[in-house]
Amino acid sequence: MAASIALVDDDRNILTSVSIAMQAEGYVTRVYSDSEAALQAIVDNPPDLGIFDIKMPKMDGLELLRRVREKSNLPVIFLTSKDEELDEALGLAMGADDYIKKPFSQRLLIARVKSILRRLELTRDANQDQEVEGMEPLVRGELNMDPARHVVTWKGDNVTLTVTEFMILETLANRPGVVKSRNQLMDAAYQDDVYVDDRTIDSHIKRLRRKFREVDPDFDAIDTLYGAGYRYTE
C-alpha cells in the first residue's frame, strides 16, 4: 500500500507543487490549507508522514505538531523560511524529524521523505518478524533499546523517541566510549546523501538529553566532545 502524506501549508501553490511531486513518486497525498482542519483529519485518520509549514494563520505549524504529538508519534518534516531559525530549533525540540528551508528543491524534499519512510518501514517489518538479523535488543548500562519494537527504556522507564532520535542514539550506544562525529551521525540517521547541517544533529542530541532527563534528571550518558562529536558512556 502506498504511503500517505499530509501536506499542511496556507500557500496553495506550494501545496499543489509538492502534492504533484509526491504523487509522481507513488505517494498518496492529503492537502490542507487550514491547519485546524488538518489537525482533526490527521487525528481521525493518521497518515504515514506529515509535511507542515511553520508560519500559518489560526494555528502555526509548531502548535499543530504539539497537538498531533498528544495523539501519535507521526513523523513530521517542517517547511521554514530563511529567517525562522528559532522556529526550526523549537520545532526540532518539540519532536519534528527534519526541516527544509524555503525555497527548496522538490528533489531534496523527496529524498528526505524517502529516508524517513524507509526507516519507518524497517521498524514495522521488524515488529512483524522478531528474528530479523541485527534487530536484537541493545543493552548498555541502564539503557535498553529494542529496535524490533522501537522501544527504549532507561532504568525501566519508557522514553519515547522519533525514528531519527532512535537511529542517532543506537549509533552512539552500539560502541560505548567511541566518539562519533556529526558526519557519522548524519550518515546513520539520514540516507541517500541527504544534506543535513550540523545544527540539526546538535538539536537532535539536545532533544535526546531532554527526553532522558524527564525520566532521570541525572542522565549524563551522552558526552559532547567539542570539535569532535559525541559519545555514549555507560
Compute mean pLDDT per 10 residues along the chain, 234 residues long, and list them. 92 94 95 94 94 91 90 88 64 77 86 83 59 71 87 92 86 94 82 60 88 95 93 92
CATH architecture of the domain covering 4-120 = 3-Layer(aba) Sandwich (3.40)
User: What is the DSSP annotation of 156-225?
Assistant: TEE----HHHHHHHHHHHHSTT--B-HHHHHHHH--TT----HHHHHHHHHHHHHHHHHH-TT---EEEE
| pLDDT in the model for residue 104 | 84
Alpha carbons 234 and 229: distance in angstroms, whole number: 17
43: its cell numbers: 487525528
Write down the pTM of the prediction: 0.69
CATH assignment, 130-232: 1.10.10.10
| pLDDT in the model for residue 165 | 86
| pLDDT in the model for residue 99 | 81
| pLDDT in the model for residue 198 | 59
Alpha carbons 174 and 69: distance in angstroms, whole number: 28
Given a contact cutoff of 8 angstroms between Cβ atoms, the answer to whether 87 and 42 are in contact is no
Residue 27 DSSP code: -
| pLDDT in the model for residue 196 | 58
Tell me the domain boundaries of the chain.
4-120, 130-232
